[in-house]
Structure 1
Amino acid sequence: MAGGLQELRRRIRSVQNTQQITRAMKLVAGAKLRRAEERARASRDYFDQIRAITARAVERSHGLGHPLLEVRPVETASMVVVTSDRGLAGPFNTNVLRRAMLELNHVEAKRKVVFAVGRKGRDFFRYRNVSMIEEFIGLGDDPSYRQARAIADTVMARYLEREVDAVYLTFTRYHNAMSQEPVTLQLLPVVLDEAVKGQDDAGAHMGYVFEPDPQEVFQDLLPRYVEMLIFGALLESKASEQGARMTAMDNASKNAEELIRRLILLRNRLRQAAITREIAELVGGAEALK
């Protein structure tokens, strides 16, 4: 009985220590979430507008030829998958990786490769022997536009060199700390997105005048479009990661509290049983002496 009580006491101390860690991680994730959420929401308008502007510009380009607009037979399909570098974020990484694999399976191509952004994605694809063409890790808690541009430059270079024929982007869109949604967008070739094609605003139906000329405008607009989509995905994913981690740590702290309560109740019952048995032994001994 003494051994059982000692084991319970060690277990209670262990769970209490774990609870302190999960509470601290929740507070840290909450502080990081506020910053990540502000950045994601601040960039969302630009993210949506550049998609809409690019879609309308492509629609009114009258068949302008540009390498990033070239649609060709898909021999090699690729996907940029944005995950986190660290775990303990609930189902965040699992959901986006499941979505990426599902979308890859639906793509008709002889060869499929991935651009892994984040250690969790890299390890996932490496373990499953999925071909990785590039990996990007260690982006930190505040992804910069420079980092997004580096990823975009690599992706566009592979596309222009015809190493890949289509590029998709899978990331997690942030709604709130309790809700994140894995989504997939086509990155290359740049196509008219039905989600933004129908968005009209003042002047949407007016003809575009390209200055200095359409080729030079698209030479700047299309790479910026790819860069911004990746940058927006990084910001949305980082906010989703922190929200998922805060929620996961909150649930872990509550579960630890419930487990501690049950362990303390069991410990008290064992102590009461031990005391009752000792009293019974004393009474029995006293009766035997009479």
Structure 2
Amino acid sequence: MVGSLSEIKDKIISTEKTSKITSAMRMVQSAKLVKSEQAAKAYQVYASKVRQITTDLLKSELTATSGATNPMLASRPVKTTGYIVITSDKGLVGGYNAKILKAVMEIIKEHHEDGQEDYTIIAIGGIGADFFKSRGMNVAFELRGLADQPSFEDVGRIISKSIDMYQAELIDQLYVCYNHHVNSLTSQVRVQQMLPLSDLVAEEASDDMEAGFELEPNREVILEQLLPQYAESLIYGAIVDAKTAEHAAGMTAMQTATDNATNVINDLTIQYNRARQAAITQEITEIVAGANALE
């Protein structure tokens, strides 16, 4: 019985240590989440301005009945599709990675198993890169060790490569697959088309561009530089969004682990008290039995 009590006590101490670790990790993830949400809000201000400028410059092309002529806007026959898949570099984030990887595998199975249309994957995050490589899937580029609050410089290279692949017609469509942050408890899988640009609508354009503005050097040259930058900003925004969802998932996972540890400690404490009570009862019984034997 003493050995049993000792084992239960050791389990309680071990679980308490685990609970302290997961609680500390939850606080760290919570701090990261706050910073990521602030970064996401700051990005939205920039993104809305870039979108407005781009829409204003493209108003005449967006309203044209003949369709877009700019290669960043015009659709072409799809031979190869590119997928930017955003996962984390490490675990301890609950079902964050499983959800997005399952969605990507379903898309590939649905659209690419017949061999009529090829695909390539650009993996951001070690979990996704290892997952696809272990299955022999085509991973063109990968990026690991992304910062908790990534700057554009951190991801600019792989984003530029993605845009360059589209402009060089190595891919004919580009999608970003990631977990969209809804709140600290919820995220949604998103598969968002980035190229060709299809989310711009003429109704959002202002009338100021038709009020006599002169563009230098000219509209076409400006759009040649602006449209790739706009596409890059959309991809960067998805990465920031995914990182926010990752921190929220990590915080939730660590909170769940802490709660589970607390429940285990409570159950072990009850077991310990019952075992201790049984041991005391046994000792009293033996004392009483010995005393009766002397009479």
TM-score of the superposed pair, with normalisation by structure 2: 0.87
Distance 1:210 1:216, change over 3 A: farther
- Which stretches in structure 1 are left out of the alignment for 5+ residues? none
Aligned residue in 2 for 1:132: 139
Identity over aligned pairs, percent: 34
TM-superposed CA distance for 1:110, in Å, is 2.5
1:119 counterpart = 2:126: yes
Q: Deviations over 1:265-285 (max 9, x none)?
A: 101101111111122122223
One-letter identity of the residue aligned with 1:83: T
One-letter identity of the residue aligned with 1:260: I
> CA separation in 2, counterparts of 1:263 and 1:199?
64
DSSP-derived class of the 1:247 partner: helix
Q: Deviations over 1:213-247 (max 9, x none)?
A: 33212211111112101111121111111122112
Please give the residue correspondences for 1:155-174 in structure 2 after superposition, counting only pairs within 5 Å.
155-174=162-181
1:279 counterpart = 2:287: no
143-152 or 31-40, which deviates more? 143-152
Distance 1:83 1:51, change over 3 A: farther
Please give the residue correspondences for 1:214-225 in structure 2 after superposition, counting only pairs within 5 Å.
214-225=219-230
Q: Deviations over 1:66-114 (max 9, x none)?
A: 3333422222212001111222112222222223333334435522221
Please give the residue correspondences for 1:36-185 in structure 2 after superposition, counting only pairs within 5 Å.
36-48=36-48, 50-51=50-51, 54=54, 57-58=57-58, 60-61=60-61, 62=64, 65-107=69-111, 109-185=116-192
> CA separation in 1, counterparts of 2:212 and 2:54?
12
| Length, aligned pairs only | 287
> CA separation in 2, counterparts of 1:208 and 1:113?
45
One-letter identity of the residue aligned with 2:72: L
> CA separation in 2, counterparts of 1:102 and 1:52?
35
TM-superposed CA distance for 1:54, in Å, is 4.0
Aligned residue in 2 for 1:33: 33
TM-superposed CA distance for 1:135, in Å, is 0.3
8 Å contact kept, 1:80–1:168: yes
1:189 to 185, 196, 200: 196
Please give the residue correspondences for 1:256-271 in structure 2 after superposition, counting only pairs within 5 Å.
256-271=261-276
TM-score of the superposed pair, with normalisation by structure 1: 0.88
> CA separation in 2, counterparts of 1:21 and 1:46?
38
> CA separation in 2, counterparts of 1:60 and 1:217?
15
8 Å contact kept, 1:60–1:208: no
> CA separation in 2, counterparts of 1:244 and 1:152?
25
TM-superposed CA distance for 1:180, in Å, is 1.9
> CA separation in 1, counterparts of 2:197 and 2:172?
12
Aligned alpha-carbon RMSD (Å): 2.6
TM-superposed CA distance for 1:37, in Å, is 0.7
